[in-house]
Structures are given as structure tokens and as C-alpha cells.
Amino acid sequence: MRNMVSAGSGHGNGGTELAERVCVVGISMNLVTYLVGDLHLSNAKSANIVTNFLGTLNLLALLGGFLADAMLGRYLTVIISATIAAIGVSLLAASTVVPGMRPPRCGDAAAGGGCVAASGGQMAMLYAALYTVAAGAGGLKANVSGFGSDQFDGRDPWEGKAMLFFFNRFYFCISLGSMLAVTVLVYVQEDVGRGWGYGASAAAMVAAVAVFAIGTPRYRYQRPQGSPLTAIGRVLWAAWRNRRLPFPADAGELHGFHKAKVPHTDRLRSLDKAAIVEADLTAAATPPEQPVAALTVTEVEEVKMVVKLLPIWSTCILFWTVYSQMTTFSVEQASHMDRRSGGFVVPAGSFSVFLFLSILLFTSVNERLLVPLARCLITRRRQGLTSLQRVGAGLVLATLAMAVSALVEKKRRDASSGGGGGGVAISAFWLVPQFFLVGAGEAFAYVGQLEFFIREAPERMKSMSTGLFLATLAMGFFLSSLLVSAVDAATRGAWIRDGLDDGRLDLFYWMLAALGVANFAVFLVFASRHQYRPAILPAADSPPDDEDAVREAATVKGIDF
């Protein structure tokens, strides 16, 4: 009976995540062609709209996690978030169907024979729809996997085994949703109609909410335990409040020093003031009858561990800036190239399928071939590559992808504009290498980053460290928008133009490649100075190694343990 309950709960969570992937990937991977082709926006502005949408979505995952941990619980947050996402994608579908929500076609009399960009009201409707989707999908991203893990008791051998199958199915649903989005859904958007494509996403989300709600009587629920952000805030505030107090002569005088679960360190000593036992009771703001309790050394050291992650965190941002080009300019490149394959014209947004195929391929190859090879020849460690070595490999592949992108764009532009207007469109399959390299980079970088942030964080701050990881995605997308705007202003529109043949997108790619080289050099400095947490011996009732490996692989798409 316990396994039947767990299986039913897993189907509900997996279906919800599949619908979220169909919704978000189906929007993001093909949105730029709608903005340029139907709303007549510039390439630079269209790219920024897409990256800002994705950045906000990942940033709102932090808010979704906070609300669930501090107030609502995961179940209510998932229900509310899925409903909000369904409303948002329904608004998006409506905005593509209602004639008044789009400008007239280029060349129509209403457009004066030219092209008229979308009006303020039309853009307001688009923004309302996109950021409603972002709010809902962000809440789902932060909680749906965690709620699924709440349904299993890891101390029970049967449920531990059932949890293994849940994470397998969950990862399968994520991959299946992404693949459906970039193949079937993008084709429907391009060849049948945007309204039908976005409407299908809305229907999938509504169905997922219904299936999830049906399982309500059988779910297990965890009470909100408070957000790790609150614990971090308490330490920072206490350290600031006691900033004028002298350090004790002996660190052993700090509150909870001899009972600390985490050894005291001398780094970031300013935070130790949060654990000073004798608070400044003479201050007017803190009367003697209401003393302020000192925090423990354990609490302070846990915050120090989170702060120690920030240098590596900062160097992971640029990878997602490179990744964002696969959803913007690479799709726009494909729309200007020959996309015929036999008698079928491949939609521009569907070329992202090579990105996901590469991710799945290298995720499998990493565990079956590269990790054993690295174990034997390079690191001599059981896990093969360390988490930071995986991140470094991802950064190198991303930099190489931008160099390849620059060469392909130069070839495309020369062929398209050569010979006195007699240029030709080269095959869009020239874009496959850049999608393939970025996908391979994600297979290394995503797993490496997530493993690093989870394993190096304090035990009770795992969700906070996962939130930090998701924030790198958000910052990467926002940095892409910033770079596009800065380059557009600095070059006065010479590099990124409405017509790709008139611009120099290849130079923009070369700039990203150069930034990648510099970022990798900084990463090497930080990585060489980082000291991993000491290995913790597994408890007697800990899950077997094969389950640990599967659970770790399942986290590749954001599963929170």
C-alpha cells in the first residue's frame, strides 16, 4: 500500500513537471521568432525580452522556495504556482489570437506599406502574460521535486527503493517535456498557429493541476520549517549589531563553541561577533531586562560556508549567458538559413532539439565512459571528476561553442550577402555544432554546479544552496540582456541589427568567447584555492551507492533533496 501511494504521488508530480517543461521550453525556444516576425521588434530587444523572462523565472524560484519553507508549505505552493502558470500561458495564447494584440502585417495599408512595431498596449499584454508564467513556473521549479521527495520515508527500505523509481521517472518527465516542446509544440506554433501551440501548453498545465489535485487525499505533507534565508539574515544582523564589541581573547568563549556541529574557523572573523555571549546590554536600544541572545558557533559557521561558495558562484554566471544565446540569436540565425531536410522544413525553434539530445548523450557518457576514464587516468578518485573539474569542463566547452558560433555566423553572412545580391542561404544544420557543444557543456556544468552547491553547503541549508545555483541561471540571462544592450549602444547598432546580414553578430560571439577565456582564468584561481568539505562517512541506514548515483543524476534538472 505504501508503494502504491508513493507511485501515485510520483505520477502527479512528474506530470506537473512535464507540463511545466512543455510550457516554459515551448515558449522560450521559439519566442524570439514571434517577437521579430509578428511584433516587428528589433533583434536586440527581442533577445532581451527572452533572456529577461528566463532570468526572472529562475530568480522567482528563490521566492517560491522561501514561501514554501516559511509559510505555505510545498503542496499549496505547487497548486498555486501551477494555476498561475496556466493563467499566464492562457493569456499568452489569447494575445496571439486576438487581432488587436498584434500590429498589422508588414506592407499592409494599415502599416503604411512598411512595418509598425507593437504598441505599448500590445507589449503590456505580452509582458503580463510572460511574467505571470514566470511567477508560476518559478514556484513550480522550486517545489515540485521537493514535494515528490516528501512522499517517501528514506528510513523505510521499501520506500527508499520506491524513491529510486520516482527520481528516474521524474527525470524522464523533464527530458520528455523538453523534447516535446522543441519538436511537436514548436512545429504546431510555426505551421498551425501560435494560438494553438500556446493553447496546448495551457491545456497541459490545467490537466496537470487536475491530476495533481486528484491525489490530494493520499499525499504526505511536511509543515513549513522556516527559510534558511531567515537564518542567514539573523547571523548577518547579529554580527552587524555587535560590530563594535571586541573579540573574546579565546574563541572558546563564543556561544556554543564546545557543542558546535561544525568546527570553528578563523575566516570571515567579523561574522564571529554574532556568537559573542555578552551582547552590548548597555546600549539604549537593548535594555538589560531584554537581553539579545547570542547565536551559536554552528549557526555562524554555516553562514560562512555559504559565503565561501560565492566566488565560484560568480564564475558560473557566464556559462548561462552563453546558454541564453541558444534561445535567442541562434534561433534567429536558423530562421535566415536553409532549414529544409528532404521535403520537410524544420522550424527554427526546433533546432534546439540538438541541445537536449547532446545533454542526454553526454549525461550518459559522463557516467558510463568519461568518469571511469578520469578515475583511471586523471584523478584516481572514485567519483572520477570532481564537481569543480566538471564545472571547468563546461566553461571550456561553452567558450569553444562561442568561437564555433562566430565562425558559422561569418560563413552564413558571407554566403547570404555575397555576389551583388545573389547570395544563398546555407544549411541551418551548420548550427548543430554550437548547439551540440553548449549541450555537452551543460551536461558537465549543470551537474557540477549543482553537486558543488549541494555538497559544500551546510546540511540544513541545502535548499538555500540550490537557490544559489538557480540564481546563477537568472544572473546569466540578465547578464546577456545587459551585454546586448551595452554592445548595441557602444557600436550604435552596427553589430546587432534588425537584418542579420547587415550586422556583425559574429563579433558579438567572439566577444563572448573572449569573456569566456577571462572568466575561466578567474575560475581556475578560485577553484585552486577552494578546500572541499571533509567527506562524511555514511550512516548505517544510508541508501546504497547505486541509489545515491541515480538521485544525483536525477538532480540534473533541478531536483531538490
DSSP at 340: E
Show the cell assigned to 218: 493520499
Among 29-33, 62-66, 285-289, the range scoring the smallest mean pLDDT is 285-289
Provide the pLDDT for residue 195.
85
Concatenating the DSSP letter of every residue in 382-441 gives TTSS-HHHHHHHHHHHHHHHHHHHHHHHHHHHHHHH-STT---PPBGGGGHHHHHHHHHH
Please give the full DSSP string across 13-40, using - where no structure is assigned.
HHHHHHHHHHHHHHHHTTHHHHHHHTS-
Residue 107's alpha-carbon distances to 39, 42, 62, in angstroms, are 14, 17, 45
**Residues 25-53, mean pLDDT to the nearest whole number:** 84
The reported pLDDT for the residue numbered 479 is 93
Predicted confidence at residue 130, as pLDDT, reads 93
In this prediction, residue 403 carries a pLDDT of: 96
Residues 416-433: what's their mean pLDDT? 76
Q: Is the pLDDT of residue 12 over 60?
A: no
* pLDDT tens per residue across span 468-496: 777 888 899 999 999 999 998 898 888 98
Percent of the chain whose predicted confidence (pLDDT) is above 70: 75
pLDDT band, very low/low/confident/very high, at 555 (cuts 50, 70, 90): very low
pLDDT (tens digit per residue) in 387-401? 888 899 999 999 999
Q: Give 374's pLDDT tier (boundaries 50, 70, 90).
A: low
3-state secondary structure of 83: helix
The DSSP bridge partners found for residue 340 are 345
Query: Mean pLDDT throughout 440-462?
Result: 78
For the chain, what is the radius of gyration of the CA atoms?
25
Selection from 458, 468, 459, 426 nearest residue 340 by Cα: 426
Please provide the average confidence, as pLDDT, over all residues in the chain. Answer: 77
pTM for the full predicted model: 0.74
In the prediction, which pLDDT does 366 show?
Answer: 66
Whether 399 contacts 513, CB under 8 Å = yes
pLDDT at 8 over 60: no
- Give the cell for residue 159: 520506500
Would you state the pLDDT for residue 539?
Answer: 38
The one-character DSSP state at 273 is G
Residue 99: Cβ within 10 Å count = 6
Quote the CA–CA distance of 201 and 539 in Å, as a whole number: 44
Residues 6+ apart with CB under 8 A from 326: 352, 355, 434, 435, 438
Q: Which three cell numbers stand for residue 89?
A: 500561458
Cα separation, 165 vs 197, whole angstroms: 32
pLDDT at 463: 59
Q: How far apart are CA 194 and CA 182, in angstroms?
A: 14
pLDDT at 543: 40
pLDDT at 339 over 60: yes
C-alpha 136 chain-centroid distance: 15
pLDDT band of residue 459 (cuts 50, 70, 90) is low
Distances in whole angstroms, Cα of residue 7 to Cα of each of 79, 162, 176, 325, 549: 19, 7, 19, 38, 21
Cell of 549: 548515483
Q: What is the dihedral of CA 55, 56, 58, 59, to 10 degrees?
A: 110
Tell me: the pLDDT tens digits for 206-235?
A: 888 888 888 777 777 777 766 777 888 888
For the chain, give the number of residues: 561
Query: For the chain, which domains are there?
Result: 1-104+117-226 (1.20.1250.20), 228-300 (no CATH), 304-532 (1.20.1250.20)
